[in-house]
């Protein structure tokens, strides 16, 4: 890897078709035997070399026929239409995983499992996230709609909060676990109504997450 200097800080929302908690987070096989996922981030503070990325957003759709580590996945990267040409290139380089130390970030790990990466979409990305309430929303009109919502006690409906810390994790060090849903009519069709989700206060560099 050529050494790169970048950093992204902000809130990230992810949801997948696994049951709450997502077995993949604990090195187990996916709930339904395959993996489908949507993720997005609002960058509060970010850069790639001398290119500032503050205020921009990215999203991505994923599908694997089995567990992530078994490969043969496909990905659809989506970049904020407000980004100029240099910012678009910077974000795509980060999302590609090629500017990360191998295995150090989820960008790198996921990229190593891909058989197909669809041409990127440049579009408006609507994004909402609240770490404390466990709520979030991702919308790329005509492409994907996804939500995050608190896990609720099945008896009385009260909010059940769960945080998970991963020592040496390549995506995050701590995340708020929630429920999630998604529907996509894009090149990667997706749908689940009661899946896993997590919200992360992301702070990540080419060498892995700092938070």
List all residues 6 or more positions away from 1 whose beta carbon is below 8 Å from its beta carbon. Answer: 98, 99, 100, 101, 102, 206
| pLDDT value of residue 190 | 96
* pLDDT by 10s per residue, the chain, length 211: 457 899 999 999 999 999 999 999 999 999 999 999 999 999 999 999 999 999 999 999 999 999 999 999 999 999 999 999 999 999 999 999 999 999 999 999 999 999 999 999 999 999 999 999 999 999 999 999 999 999 999 899 899 999 999 999 999 999 999 999 999 998 999 999 999 999 999 999 999 999 8
Q: What is the C-alpha to C-alpha distance for residues 67 and 31, in angstroms, rounded to an integer?
A: 10
Q: What is the C-alpha to C-alpha distance for residues 166 and 25, in angstroms, rounded to an integer?
A: 9
Domain boundaries, the chain: 6-209
- Which candidate, 172, 175, 177, 176, places its Cα nearest to that of 208? 172
Residue 133 has, within 13 A of its CA and on its CB side, a CA count of 9
* pTM listed for this prediction: 0.95
Q: What is the C-alpha to C-alpha distance for residues 198 and 36, in angstroms, rounded to an integer?
A: 14
| pLDDT value of residue 186 | 86
- Which candidate, 156, 188, 3, places its Cα nearest to that of 78? 188
> Do 24 and 35 meet the contact criterion of CB atoms below 8 Å apart?
yes
Which tokens go with 167?
Answer: 């020592």
| pLDDT value of residue 96 | 97
């Amino acid at each position: 890897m050529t050494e790169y200097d970048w950093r992204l800080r902000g809130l990230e929302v992810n949801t997948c078709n696994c049951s709450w908690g997502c077995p993949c987070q604990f090195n187990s096989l996916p709930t339904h035997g395959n993996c489908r996922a949507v993720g997005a981030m609002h960058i509060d503070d970010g850069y790639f070399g001398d290119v500032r990325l503050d205020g921009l957003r990215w999203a991505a759709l994923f599908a694997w026929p089995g567990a992530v580590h078994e490969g043969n996945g496909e990905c659809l990267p989506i970049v904020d239409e407000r980004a100029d040409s240099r910012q678009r290139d910077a974000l795509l380089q980060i999302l590609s995983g090629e500017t990360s130390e191998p295995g150090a970030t989820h960008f790198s790990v996921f990229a190593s499992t891909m058989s197909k990466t669809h041409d990127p979409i440049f579009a408006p990305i609507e994004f909402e996230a609240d770490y404390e309430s466990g709520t979030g929303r991702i919308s790329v009109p005509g492409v994907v709609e996804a939500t995050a919502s608190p896990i609720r006690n099945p008896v009385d409906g009260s909010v059940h909060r769960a945080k998970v810390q991963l020592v040496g994790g390549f995506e995050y060090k701590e995340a708020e676990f929630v429920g999630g849903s998604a529907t996509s009519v894009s090149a990667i069709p997706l749908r689940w109504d009661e899946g896993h989700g997590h919200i992360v206060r992301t702070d990540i560099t080419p060498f892995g997450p700092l938070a």
